[in-house]
Amino acid sequence: MILIIDHRDSFTRNLEHLLAEFGKVEVIDRLKAREKCRDAQMLVLSPGPGRPTDYPETIKLYQEWRGEKPILGICLGFQLMLQAEGAKIIRQEQVLHGVETEIETTCKSITYEGIEPPIKVGRYHSLQACADSPKNLPNSIRITAIDRIRNVPLSFEDCDRKLFGLQYHPESFLTNHGYAIAANVVRACLGSG
C-alpha cells in the first residue's frame, strides 16, 4: 500500500488518482499518520502550503522511516526531505504557481529512465532549495534535474535509501511525462508499476 501523508493540499487527491494506477493508495492527515506508516510499503509526502519547518510531525516521520521504507516527496515533501538532509530552503525570486517550465536532467537516473526530452513540468511553489545546497547533502543523494534558467534543483534520488523527490507536480496536466515519471519511481520503490 502507498500511503500519502497529506498536508491538506488541494493537489493531494489528484496525486492519489495518479498513484492509484500503480496499486492501493491511502491518504491520511499528517497528524494521524504515525501508526499507519508501519503498514505502508511506500510513503509519499504530499504538497502543501507553508515551509517545511511548519510540519515538525512530518519531519519526525521522515527521520524515523528514511532508509526503512521508500519515500517520495512532492513539492513541499521534496523541500522537507532535502532540508532534513542538510539543504537550505529559501524563498525564490519568482513565484511559480501553475507555471510550465522545461527541466534539464543532470545525470542518468531512475526517475527519467526511458523519457525523451523535452521534459516539461508543472510548478506550484514559492520556496526552493538553495542552488548550492547539493554540497551539504549526503553523497548518496543526487540532484537529477534542475531549472537551468534559475539554477534550481527540481528532483533528486537516493537509490541506496530509496528516497525520491520532485519539486514539481507529476499529477499536473502541465507535466508532459508525469505518468512515466511516477511509474519509474514506483517501480524503483516497489518493484512494480
Predicted TM-score (pTM) of this structure: 0.92
Q: What is the full per-residue pLDDT of the chain (193 aa) written as tens digits?
A: 999 999 888 888 899 999 999 999 999 888 888 888 899 999 999 999 999 999 999 999 999 999 999 999 999 999 999 999 999 988 877 767 777 889 989 878 999 999 988 899 988 877 888 888 788 889 999 999 999 888 889 999 999 999 999 999 999 998 899 999 999 999 999 985 4
Catalytic residue set: 75, 169, 171
3-state secondary structure the chain: CEEEEECCCCCHHHHHHHHHHHCCEEEEEHHHCHHHHCCCCEEEECCCCCCHHHCHHHHHHHHHHECCECEEEECHHHHHHHHHCCCCEEEEEEEEEEEEEEEEECCCCCCCCCCCCCEEEEEEEEEEECCCHHHHCCCCCEEEEEECCCCEEEEEEECCCCEEEECCECCCCCCCCHHHHHHHHHHHHHCCC
State which CATH number among 3.20.20.70, 3.40.50.300, 3.40.1410.10, 3.40.50.880 fits the domain covering 2-190: 3.40.50.880
